Structure formats: structure tokens, C-alpha cells
Amino acid sequence: MISLDIKLDTIDKVYAFVATLTKYEYEVDVASGRYLVNGKSIMGIFSLDLLSPVKLTIHADKADDLVAELAPYMA
């Protein structure tokens, strides 16, 4: 598993973030506090507290391609 801290401070960033994740087959979760949602669910992400960075978990041993594409969102 790979964990990253992600900052989604605008609506446009949330839309672009979900679009990026849906291009890949990896299972991804986004957590904020005790809440955990599917990273590919735009409704799920909007239900989280996005004022603080959220924790992205990629359920794969190696996902360098996705991690590189997520660089603009890293906190």
C-alpha cells in the first residue's frame, strides 16, 4: 500500500483528481479523520472535510505512474 497526503482546496482540483484516479485500475481510498471513501467517487470526496489535507491510500505495491501524476495534489 502507498499512502500520500493530498490537498484538494478547490472544486476544480477535486474534479481533476477524480478524473486522474479513474484512468487507473488501482483501488484507492481517501480518508479524512475517521471517514473513508472510495477515491474514485466524486460524491464521496465532496462528503469529506477538505479544509485539511486528506490521506490517499493506493492499494498496490507499486504505482509509480499514478504517484507521479498526483504530484500537483500532494500536500
pTM strictly above 0.85: yes
Domain ranges of the chain: 2-73
**Cβ(25)–Cβ(1) under 8 Å?**
no
* Model pLDDT, residue 75: 85
Is it the case that residue 59 has pLDDT exceeding 90? yes
pLDDT digits (tens, 9 = 90+) for 3-40: 999 999 899 999 999 999 999 999 999 999 999 999 99
Dist. CA 50–CA 45, nearest whole Å? 8
**Cβ(6)–Cβ(71) under 8 Å?**
no
CATH value of 2-73 in 3.90.950.20, 2.60.120.10, 3.30.1340.10, 3.40.50.720: 3.30.1340.10
